[in-house]
Amino acid sequence: MKYIAIDLGLKRVGLAYSAHKDLVTPLKAVERKNRDQAARDVKKVIDEWEADAVVVGIPMGGSSEDEMRRRVAHFMNLVDFKGEIFYQDESNSSKEAEAMMKGEIKQIRDGRIDSISAMIILQRFLAKIKTSSKS
């Protein structure tokens, strides 16, 4: 299965890819000028990498979970992806990504942190699948 992970933000959309259970690669983030342009750019990436499924990060368990699910569902409708869509808890993924970038020039907002956050989201999802397939 080939997966694309999405960390949906207001300014950038972080992206990561995996075609192997243990290897996840951050991709170049999409700068978000507006929803339609961001959806088109994300669709191009999904098509280019021939993804079978998309894993979208959302904050789970909080008061904003329902609202975020609605926004993500709307965005994915714009993307017009026909494969499976999975939701994965993204809690603290941006903080983890920033910690991984310590020592880098993290003041530059070029999307690296967003895509590393997407990578963390996809790693969590793949670990969850691996664990559930063993039981």
The CA-based dihedral angle spanning residues 124, 129, 131, 135, taken in that order and rounded to the nearest 10 degrees: 160
Residue 94 pLDDT grade (very low, low, confident, very high; cuts 50, 70, 90): low
The residue-averaged pLDDT of 43-52 equals 97
Question: How open is the CA angle 25-131-113, to the nearest 5 degrees?
Answer: 30
pLDDT attached to residue 122: 95
- In this structure, the number of other CB atoms found within 10 A of the CB of residue 55 comes to 25
Cα–Cα distances in Å, from 44 out to 30, 48, 80?
11, 6, 11
Single pTM value for the model: 0.85
The residue-averaged pLDDT of 25-33 equals 94
